[in-house]
């Protein structure tokens, strides 16, 4: 199947090919040893934590405190 790359580096999968992967919205793209582009379907699993909880957990692991966040906001607003 012939597929054209747009000027925005996008391609559209032909319907016949897309139909073979129902429910798949993401593909991992790689180049194999022979120079071919290989698309591997990827099923994304929703996170059990909210984005806010993920950020809070990461902040805690990094040892960032409230005063550090306030200083960062103050610094960013000066720019």
How far apart CA 31 and CA 28 sit, in angstroms, is: 10
Q: Does the pLDDT at position 79 exceed 80?
A: no
pLDDT tens-digit map of 19-75: 999 989 999 999 999 999 999 999 887 777 788 888 889 999 999 999 999 999 999
List of domains in the chain: 1-45 (2.10.260), 46-79 (no CATH)
Task: Give the pairing type, strands 26-31 and 37-42.
Answer: antiparallel
Q: Is 1 exposed, middle or buried (0-12, 13-18, 19+ CB in 10 A)?
A: exposed
**pTM score, whole prediction:** 0.52
């Amino acid at each position: 199947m012939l597929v054209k790359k747009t000027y925005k580096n996008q391609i559209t999968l032909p319907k016949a090919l897309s139909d073979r992967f129902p429910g798949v919205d993401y593909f991992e793209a790689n180049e194999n040893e022979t120079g071919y582009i290989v698309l591997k379907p990827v099923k994304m699993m929703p996170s059990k934590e909210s984005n806010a909880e993920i950020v809070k957990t990461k902040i805690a692991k990094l040892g960032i405190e409230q005063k550090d966040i306030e200083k960062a906001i103050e610094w960013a607003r000066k720019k």
